[in-house]
Structure 1
Amino acid sequence: MNASLPPSAPLQSRLAIPRSFLALALVSALLGSTTPSPLYGLYQALWGFPSVTLSALYAVYAFGVLLSLAAFGRLSDRLPDRRLLLLPALAVVGLGALIFGFAGDLQALFLGRLLAGLGTGALTGSANAALMDFDNLDRQRRAASLASLAFTGGAALGPVLSSAALYLDFWPRSSPFLLIAALALLAGLGLVFGNWPRPAKTPASSDRPAARQPLAQAMGSLWPAFAMLCAVLVLGWAVGSLFIALGTTMLASLLPAGALAAAGLIVAAFQIAAGATQFLCRRMPAGQAIRVGCALLAASWAGCALSLAYGQAWGFCLFTLLTGVGYGASFVGAMGRLAAIAPAQHRGSLSSLFYVSGYLGSALSILGIGALVDAIGLLPAMQGLAVCVVLATLAILWRGRF
């Protein structure tokens, strides 16, 4: 699987191709996380399931990611070539997209989402660790910004694809997922034939099995800092997952009937704002990005709740964009700080633990919110969440040492 590299070529240029296909792999996986969002209302109208079932469709994806991260989180650091995990993960992502895209009942939807989550979980930690390896090889610091942009770019493009398919009536339940499967296949081919560097991991003596420090010992006093980074991720992803699962429903409640395709674009707007912010904040000190992002998350989500209360669609859209800015700044800050503190021999393990916290927090929160919406209604549930987000932000800013 290793392609030989011309020694005369500058290392930075030689790593551009594998970096690009790693980014494409992340994009294909993250497309699967948000592409169904504008379609959930369609499925709910067709099959008549409650809001808690709708949120469970997102949660089963998150739990699939968690299962995969728990099973394969450390495996990437022990394999001679990270592609031995990346390629099967891409295959599972593609299979999950095809099953979801051609689902004929609710059980098939859940199976497709579960497989998408399993593939994404196996992919994300290993792909991020590989990007960090490349940073080590060419002395660049691109892993955090490239991974963040791939995450938000894929997540933003997903709702655009499905909303366009809905608007054009172009096989909306299947065509977006055929594209996801095709991109996963292209990314896999690129990883096989795209001048992957040899060795795939940094050839440091500390990476030899005999010299490996246990993770707990290697991190030492850095565990509290890592825990705070996980708290930042949980806060951002709890709000982000709410937009992915229920954003279309929230905006549709403020728009005229039949505006499902337009309402679906709110998820893309959130992700585009987040992605643009990550690009602009990539050189900002990580601690400053975290503090600004968390504060903006809390303030803007409170604005979203007020807009829902007063029936202001324009206000909800504006505060959604600001929430995306806060999410993007806090995420890129947390990613940058993680890259700085992660020991080289445990990058895959720590990346996986980092994402475990994010997906677990988002899955549990979205299940709770879905049940709360069914029990007390959409507006009271969103107001209660706004209070929780503000309190969590205050706790992070008070206790964090970024």
Structure 2
Amino acid sequence: MDVSVPVSEAAADLPALTAPAGRPFGVYIHVPFCATRCGYCDFNTYTAAELGDSSPDGWLAALRTELELAAAHLGEVPEVSTVFVGGGTPSLLGAAGLAGVLDAVRARFQLAADAEVTTEANPESTSPEFFAALRTAGYTRVSLGMQSTAAHVLKALDRMHSPGRAVDAAREARRAGFDHVNLDLIYGTPGERDDDLRGSLDAVLAAGVDHVSAYALIVEEGTALARRVRRGELPAPDDDVLARRYELIDRHLGGAGFAWYEVSNWSRPGGECRHNMGYWNGGQWWGAGPGAHGYVAATRWWNVKHPATYAAVLAGRRLPVADFENLSEGTAHVEDVMLRVRMRAGLPLAALSAAERTRAAIAIDDGLLRADGGAVVLTDRGRLLADAVVRSLLD
């Protein structure tokens, strides 16, 4: 087993944790496997060639151990309202593997009767049988990586699925009984035209999904895309183009009955992703798997990244925590403002200091925020400048 960090140095001792009562509690599972590496992605993922003898079966065995140790570490185990299996490409595990993941969670945590259980999936590694088996296993929501229906855009992103496969997969999931299906889009890819994005949005609506996530392309350092941009092979995304594309998305989806509930997320009524809303609204979660992050009480931690190191630490019956931090009241406040201001529900004025409320009033005068009862909400223009609004509030 090849581990880049000695096991004795790979894990930190996590302090005692007690999940606060009355706040949503979720479980996030990170699946680190991908068939290929997309050029824009900087997530903690590995291809089979990079992992050598590390296998999905070994990862699942280690995951079971982490969840066992997690439940013991929490003491009084909170009821789980949401489970989210992300990655990576969870669908590479197959329906049986994903059923095993959910069984591992159920073995150590009590799921709420109405728990939302989501898995991400690559359209190419799904089928009608796959979705039917997931529903039988207890999954309630599927999130599919679509990115675009334009072949040249998918090529620029190094995406392997065919342009129409994501729509077919979404329809298969709906026919299998999934009421909640999400399609992910990326906009602003070099070479993308407005008509390419319109075509992708038309395909999303034709698929009959109830949720859409749309993200501006970010050129992350260390990725193949960043190297191509640096060499001049591709232009960097243009901020003005990104703003225009965002407005196009919002108009297109809004006209079809979707409403934004977070800056990058739209849904039909009742289709919001409850797990992600837990992140944005101060919920708590245990993050399991290589590189996963967790947050309980005022403690945030992150696991060791490499699957081999992860498995080796857990073989020694230790939580695979690389490090942790205890958030100060000030840091927690900053993060609360950063996240909640992005929500359509808005940022409660009561959560702001007197000076911050004064700055919020200035943002209202500037047309970036609007008052809504006891909260401030981003205007359409404010959504385009959400990061700047946060900076202005926090000074």
Q: Quick check: TM above 0.5?
A: no
Q: Given the two structures, how large is their TM-score scaled by the length of structure 1?
A: 0.25
Q: Which has the higher strand share?
A: 2
Structure with greater contact order relative to length (CA < 8 Å, sep ≥ 6):
1
Whose helix fraction is larger, Structure 1's or Structure 2's? Answer: 1
